[in-house]
């Protein structure tokens, strides 16, 4: 009997080795493009490789190298899952050594499907040599969209390659990457859920064009930018609270009910982070808040994540919150407040609502009174602005910790 068992084990080992070797044929860098994205194809680089615990994948929007949450690679397919976003990208082998498939991303109107194709390589928009007509590096005052929102465009150009982001009062556009081909600027981004495609024409010290997201109209959002050395923006607005008290009792995914009247919050500084798993800036903020909350709890700080998620399915929302909390290892309770609309935010926050910008942060002093409301965030793609908002956050918390209950 023993020789037969050894034979089975050997066969299984060979089969596993063969399967891994076959799957390895899909490892490497792929230029993925969403073909039916508004505004034209949206490209990004996908790097798939073998890790110690199995396949790993990274989405490249230089300089960001974003690790994919869950990766499955078979002999003829790559499946990427993003539980914290409730999104998914599936690619299968196609003719000529290419891959084809689709991504499903969640929006307020429901799931959106983006057709995808992939070829070997890491070029963004144009294969081969690209000659720029100028240099767009620097700070630009930007006017964005039909409401003429004023913001800041940050660009860095090396040769023809361009990276950067756009900071608006509502948040930043994360890492944009692309090129200046002649006088034509093209930038794109994909982070597992949110998409951004920006195109513009350079004329002297002016850039003019349109931007597109997964649910944009065919015309997109028009924008115009002027290069200014002193261009700046305050990424987080400090607002006067509409009320000095806040009261709620809301559920966590594990069935607890959290209230500011709970003993753990008495005499403490409490920071309430209002966000949603659908919000890319909330993901960036969470990367800062998790370690910060853990470090300053000993000083008397408590935090609560107050999530408003898409759709009326509370069970799905709870799974979303659980995945979000796990991805960033958040040490504080996360509660479900409803959907991200005016009615649900008013039910929970009263006179402090409606919430118009995500994320929004509420700071409560040791005496239980609301002290400040901070609106917006600047993520790591903004560089110095990101450092600024983290410093201002810490200054606010430190000041409130010094106050007596």
User: Which H/E stretch holds residue 384?
Assistant: helix 384-402
What average pLDDT does range 64-92 have in this prediction? 97
**For residue 17, is pLDDT > 50?**
no
pLDDT tens digit sequence for 287-301: 999 999 999 999 999
0.85 surpassed by pTM: yes
Instruction: Identify the band that residue 333 occupies on the pLDDT scale cut at 50, 70 and 90.
Output: very high
| Mean pLDDT computed over every residue of the chain | 94
DSSP SS3 for 209: strand
pLDDT tens digit sequence for 36-67: 999 999 999 999 999 988 999 999 999 999 99
Higher pLDDT, 257 or 24: 257
**For residue 245, is pLDDT > 80?**
yes
Distance, in Å, from the CA atom of 46 to the CA atom of 118, rounded to the nearest integer, reads 9
Q: Residue 19: its pLDDT value, please?
A: 47
List of domains in the chain: 23-120 (2.40.128), 138-227 (2.40.128.120), 237-402 (3.40.30.10)
Residue 212: closest CA among 192, 232, 197: 197
**For residue 341, is pLDDT > 70?**
yes
Q: Residue 23: its pLDDT value, please?
A: 62
Distance, in Å, from the CA atom of 325 to the CA atom of 253, rounded to the nearest integer, reads 10
What average pLDDT does range 106-130 have in this prediction? 95
Q: Residue 3: its pLDDT value, please?
A: 52
Q: Residue 213: its pLDDT value, please?
A: 97
pLDDT tens digit sequence for 151-176: 999 999 999 999 999 999 999 999 99
pLDDT tens digit sequence for 179-222: 999 999 999 999 999 999 999 999 999 999 999 999 999 999 99
**For residue 388, is pLDDT > 90?**
yes
What average pLDDT does range 117-136 have in this prediction? 95
């Amino acid at each position: 009997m023993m020789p037969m068992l050894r034979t089975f084990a050997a066969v299984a080992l060979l089969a596993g080795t063969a399967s891994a070797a076959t799957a390895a044929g899909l490892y490497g860098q792929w230029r993925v493009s969403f073909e039916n994205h508004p505004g034209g194809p949206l490209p990004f680089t996908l790097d798939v490789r073998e890790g110690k615990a199995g396949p790993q994948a990274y989405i490249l929007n230089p300089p960001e190298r974003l690790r994919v949450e869950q990766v499955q690679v078979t002999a003829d397919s790559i499946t990427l899952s993003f539980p914290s976003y409730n999104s998914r990208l599936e690619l299968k082998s196609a003719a000529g050594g290419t891959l084809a498939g689709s991504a499903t991303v969640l929006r307020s109107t429901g799931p959106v499907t983006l057709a995808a194709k992939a070829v070997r390589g890491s070029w963004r928009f144009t294969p081969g040599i690209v000659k720029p007509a100028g240099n767009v590096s620097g700070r630009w005052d930007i006017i964005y969209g039909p409401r003429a929102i004023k913001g800041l465009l940050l660009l860095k150009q090396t040769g023809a390659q361009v990276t950067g982001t756009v900071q608006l009062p509502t948040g930043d556009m994360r890492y944009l990457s692309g090129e200046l081909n002649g006088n034509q600027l093209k930038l794109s981004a994909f982070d597992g859920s949110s998409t951004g495609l920006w195109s513009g024409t350079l004329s002297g010290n002016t850039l003019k064009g349109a931007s597109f997201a997964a649910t944009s109209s065919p015309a997109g959002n028009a924008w115009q930018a002027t290069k200014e050395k002193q261009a700046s923006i305050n990424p987080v607005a400090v607002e006067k609270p509409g009320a000095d008290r806040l009261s709620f009792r809301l559920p966590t995914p594990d069935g607890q009910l959290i209230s500011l009247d709970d003993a753990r919050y008495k005499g403490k500084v409490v920071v309430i982070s209002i966000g949603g798993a659908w919000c890319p800036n909330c993901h960036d903020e969470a990367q800062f808040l998790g370690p910060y909350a853990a470090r300053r709890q000993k000083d008397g700080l408590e935090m609560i994540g107050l999530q408003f998620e898409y759709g009326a399915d509370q069970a799905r929302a709870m799974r979303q919150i659980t995945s979000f909390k796990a991805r960033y290892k958040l040490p504080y309770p996360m509660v479900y407040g409803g959907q991200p609309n005016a009615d649900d935010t008013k039910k929970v926050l009263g006179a402090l609502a409606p919430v118009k910008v995500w994320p929004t942060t509420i700071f409560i002093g040791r005496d239980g009174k609301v002290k400040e409301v901070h609106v917006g965030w600047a993520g790591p793609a903004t560089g110095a602005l990101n450092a600024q908002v983290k410093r201002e956050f810490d200054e606010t918390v430190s000041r409130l910790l010094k106050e007596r209950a």
